[in-house]
Structure 1
Amino acid sequence: MEFLESFFGLIGDLTWGASLIPFLVIFGCFFTIVTGFVQFRYFKRMFRVLKKTNQTDNHKAISGREALLLSIGGRVGGGNIAGVAVAITLGGPGAVFWMWAIALVGMATSLVECTLAQLYKRRDGHEFRGGAARSIIHGLGENYRWLATVYSVCLIASFALGFNAFQGNTVAGAAQDSLGIDRIYTAIFLAVIVGFIIYGGIKRIAKSADVIVPIMAVGYVAIAVVVILMNITHIPQVISDIVANAFGIKTAVSGGMGAAIAQGLRRGLFSNEAGLGSAPNVAATADVPHPVSQGIAQSLSVFIDTMVVCSCTAFIILLGNVYVPGAEGIDGIVLTQQSMVAHLGSWAQYYLTAAILLFSFSSVVYNYYLGENALTFMTQKSWPVHILRLAVIAIVFIGAIAPGATAVFFFSDPLMGVLAVINLLALIMLFPTAMRLLQDYRKQLKEGVEEPVFNPEEFADLDIDHTAWKS
């Protein structure tokens, strides 16, 4: 076991600890500049998908809205509550600024990877499957199948297994601490509900997200807005502190500006997942008229995750008196919980527990689907999927009932670093194709087309499933 921990620790150091974050930032800036700041140019168009329940006549398929909300449900999780608190504790208020910065450039990265996933998606009955692994195999060729397989294995191990154990642990811990509910009851509840949804397939998964995510996001944002309005006169000072600490004008914690940058970028990337290749698995399920349409929509999920939800947590903490810059002892979800209680009273801890339940539950369902999609890339047989479903239900249960069991999944973060490295390499090699799609989209808009439509015949040189682009 010590050897394995050392091995995965080395992988983590070689990815997250050394070069990965700078690469994600550099590539995000590159995609932003070369695409002509596409995430800002089409910002208004991002919200169009929220108004549409289904953009085609195929009512059995997943709509762009459902795919977007499922993606938001996956990105928005415990990291938006606990992770932001850790970033502020270790990096000071300035970490929030760098979280915003990485989200803005990450929106371009997400657009590129999700557009490619849409392009190379494959029809599976009335549904579609795609993602980084399929983009690699159909975009780069059979010679790269080994790379796509490594990616799929890492995706299953980190998201479907490892992160779901942590999500179960988070929910059970919050319910026990604030409501006094024994972990066994939370574990049973989670296992039953998760089993019901994941055995319903992607359509039921998407439908559940269509209901849960708006309630989850709107409810949490609403409570943050109340806190902000209660402290509206302090907002200018908080924003000033965020900017001053971000650039080292003021020092809130040891490490100064360097700590702010490191924590802000790290937590921002962990939260919004831009560049990891995880969200494209969900983006590919949508039945949309053009690949870029869903790419633009998926940029919105990065914006909502970091610029909206993470900012809500940051203001709840920074507008309160619980957080003391440089002090140790209170961090993570406890800091967010105590800050909310200080603002609104003891009832707020129950509200936060409900938010954690919804955040974590949506993440569990999303994580499972990533694993299922990766598994179907490696095998067309149905029995491995049933084994994965049973394994996820069991892991969520064990993670909830035995918090110490989550230590077994120490490999999750290092493997997520491997996912990012593989995905970034593929994105760079496939970026010219993404630009062709973007140029086609822009051309149609200039010609007055309200909603550009993809014509696979114009991309005959690419390995595209033409049946996936028929209404």
Structure 2
Amino acid sequence: MLATLNGLLWGKILILLLIGVGVWFTVASRFVQFRYFKRMFRVFRHGLQHEKGHVSSFQALVVSVAGRVGAGNIAGVAVAITLGGPGAIFWMWIIGLIGMATSFFECTLAQVFKKAESDGTYRGGPAYYMHKGMKQKWMGTFYSGLLALSVGSALIALQSFTMASSFEQSFGVSPIYSGVVLALVTAVIIFGGIKRIAEVAEWIVPFMAVGYLILGLFVVGSNLEKVPDVFILIARSAFGLEQAIGGGFGAAILMGVQRGLFSNEAGLGHAANVAAIAHVKHPVNQGIVQSFSVFIDTMILCTVTAMIILLSDGYLNGTETGGIALTQISLAEHIGDWSGIFVTLALTLFAFTTILYLYYLGENGLNFFSNENQKLFNLFRIIVLVQIVWGSLQELTTIFALADFAVGLLAMSNLIALVFLFKIGKSVLADYDDQLASGIDHPTFEANRFNELIIEQDSWPTLERDMDNDKSNSTS
């Protein structure tokens, strides 16, 4: 039944929605992800500033990167290549590039309709812009319920499984022990709330992402003469012109779209839940930052894993190995047997931070219904911890099938909402464009300019132009 439903969702509906919405948003926004690519670094640097009592733009970014950078980058890419051939990587790139625009708009909208909390943090995401932007509370209720259910039933188990199976292969550790230890460490963090999650992610995520990138660059540098052939192999396989390990043309597209979305989450709505927590001067700032996180995930880290696998003689000579084991074996060929330990440790960090991220998503889903029922939140935390242990003992096929189905439903409902709310997102982008065009270096969002929208004044108080803007105006 799951196979049939996933075949319908991923084989027809989502391919059309993801590509159609991504291309539409890209063209209608005048290629926002490319024309603001240079500004991404400037906004990113400005987002490093912390304001007491708030979650910074950078912290929100690393929490979302913690979710995007995980099993999908290492195990997911290996699965895509195993089942779809090298051409699946090409379609992952395409989904990533157009998905940057989709992520931009969903995260911008999450900022517009966010809700201020008493402790200085914010809540927001698809459920909130469905409720306030579309004026369809039932749709927000459906999304929130599905989000909490999917996190509590499949998505966290996938991360736990990936970590535990890697530990078993590298060290011979029984999955039950890995699962229990991971659950105990997770418990220490999640009972501290989003601020503690953000603080942990702020330290771990840059370290693990840069470390994995350095390793990948070393592999590429050591096999530089083979790199052009790998890109040719990916291109030919993407259009069914190369008979390679994995599937044909259709399988390459299917696995590229499926694993691409599962990795970068553009359009899924997950990242929008986290984007809303940032304290920024304009919603577009966080939209730009979150768009950059899709680039980091797909165009950099997924490509690193693909290069590690496709540059290996083991893959090119034909192998029946798949999944995370394929990445480990390929890496061992490049840098020695100790690489299995590195991959295991990297996966452990990836899985750990992704679990923290997923937990927050589930909590945010429950918060849409009630933010005062602490017994409900504590029960959810216990379910998450149990799921970590349970997931470490399951089979890959079962976990991926459950996760794919949940992700598919979330993506479909979120993409439909984005289609209806695109006009609002475009008007917010136009406000940002106009301020930049008038010489304002750091645009600010004034809610009273959008009286037709249901925007919480506590989240967006009317702000005076800051000193930087005054200086920019006087200079211009």
Instruction: Tell me which residue corresponds to 2:439.
Output: 448
Instruction: Tell me which residue corresponds to 1:86.
Output: 79
Percent pairwise identity: 46
2:42 to 36, 40, 48: 48
Distance 1:314 1:35 in 2: 31
Distance 2:239 2:12 in 1: 22
Instruction: Tell me which residue corresponds to 1:148.
Output: 140
1:183-214 CA distance string (max 9 Å, x none):
34322321121111111110000111101111
Tell whether the 8 Å contact from 2:328 to 2:340 is kept in structure 1 after alignment.
yes
Amino acid at match of 2:437: K
Tell whether the 8 Å contact from 1:92 to 1:260 is kept in structure 2 after alignment.
yes
Deviation at residue 51 of structure 1 after TM alignment: 2.4
Distance 1:150 1:62 in 2: 27
Distance 1:44 1:235 in 2: 27
1:215-244 CA distance string (max 9 Å, x none):
110111111111011101111111122222
Pairwise CA RMSD: 1.9
Find out whether 1:436 has 2:427 as its counterpart: yes
Instruction: Tell me which residue corresponds to 1:23.
Output: 17
Tell whether the 8 Å contact from 1:399 to 1:406 is kept in structure 2 after alignment.
no
Tell whether the 8 Å contact from 1:155 to 1:370 is kept in structure 2 after alignment.
yes
2:132 to 126, 131, 138: 138
Q: Secondary structure at the match of 1:61?
A: coil
Tell whether the 8 Å contact from 2:163 to 2:351 is kept in structure 1 after alignment.
yes
Greater shift, 432-441 or 72-81, is seen at 72-81
1:398 to 390, 396, 421: 390
Find out whether 1:116 has 2:102 as its counterpart: no
Deviation at residue 454 of structure 1 after TM alignment: 0.3
Distance 1:310 1:216 in 2: 14
Tell whether the 8 Å contact from 1:70 to 1:366 is kept in structure 2 after alignment.
yes
1:316-359 CA distance string (max 9 Å, x none):
0111111147x562111111100000111101100000111011
Amino acid at match of 2:110: A
| CA shift in 2, pair 1:398/1:254, >3 Å | closer
Count of aligned pairs? 460
Tell whether the 8 Å contact from 2:144 to 2:365 is kept in structure 1 after alignment.
yes
Instruction: Tell me which residue corresponds to 2:210.
Output: 218
Structure 2 residues not aligned, in runs of 5+: 464-476
Distance 1:263 1:410 in 2: 13
| CA shift in 2, pair 1:182/1:134, >3 Å | same
Amino acid at match of 1:335: L
Instruction: Tell me which residue corresponds to 2:184.
Output: 192
Tell whether the 8 Å contact from 1:157 to 1:412 is kept in structure 2 after alignment.
no
Q: Secondary structure at the match of 1:338?
A: helix
- Counterpart mapping for 1:159-174 below 5 A: 159-174=151-166
Distance 1:254 1:223 in 2: 26
Tell whether the 8 Å contact from 1:195 to 1:393 is kept in structure 2 after alignment.
yes
| CA shift in 2, pair 1:177/1:94, >3 Å | same
Instruction: Tell me which residue corresponds to 1:358.
Output: 349
Deviation at residue 413 of structure 1 after TM alignment: 2.1
Q: Secondary structure at the match of 1:469?
A: coil
Distance 2:437 2:47 in 1: 26
Distance 2:204 2:227 in 1: 30
Q: Secondary structure at the match of 1:403?
A: coil
Distance 2:187 2:93 in 1: 36
| CA shift in 2, pair 1:121/1:429, >3 Å | same
Amino acid at match of 1:435: K
Find out whether 1:373 has 2:367 as its counterpart: no
| CA shift in 2, pair 1:405/1:227, >3 Å | closer
1:268 to 260, 266, 270: 260
1:278 to 256, 267, 270: 270
Distance 2:434 2:303 in 1: 36
Tell whether the 8 Å contact from 1:68 to 1:297 is kept in structure 2 after alignment.
yes
Q: Secondary structure at the match of 2:314?
A: coil
Tell whether the 8 Å contact from 1:92 to 1:245 is kept in structure 2 after alignment.
yes
Instruction: Tell me which residue corresponds to 2:403.
Output: 412
Amino acid at match of 1:214: P
- TM-score normalised to the size of structure 2? 0.93
Instruction: Tell me which residue corresponds to 1:182.
Output: 174
1:13 to 3, 7, 21: 7
Deviation at residue 86 of structure 1 after TM alignment: 1.7
Tell whether the 8 Å contact from 2:6 to 2:401 is kept in structure 1 after alignment.
no
Distance 2:397 2:310 in 1: 30
Tell whether the 8 Å contact from 1:340 to 1:349 is kept in structure 2 after alignment.
yes
Distance 2:403 2:238 in 1: 29
Instruction: Tell me which residue corresponds to 2:459.
Output: 468
Structure 1 residues not aligned, in runs of 5+: 1-5
Tell whether the 8 Å contact from 1:64 to 1:288 is kept in structure 2 after alignment.
yes
Amino acid at match of 1:233: E
Instruction: Tell me which residue corresponds to 2:66.
Output: 73
Distance 1:456 1:83 in 2: 41
Distance 1:301 1:408 in 2: 25
Distance 2:420 2:189 in 1: 37
Deviation at residue 282 of structure 1 after TM alignment: 0.2
Amino acid at match of 1:25: I
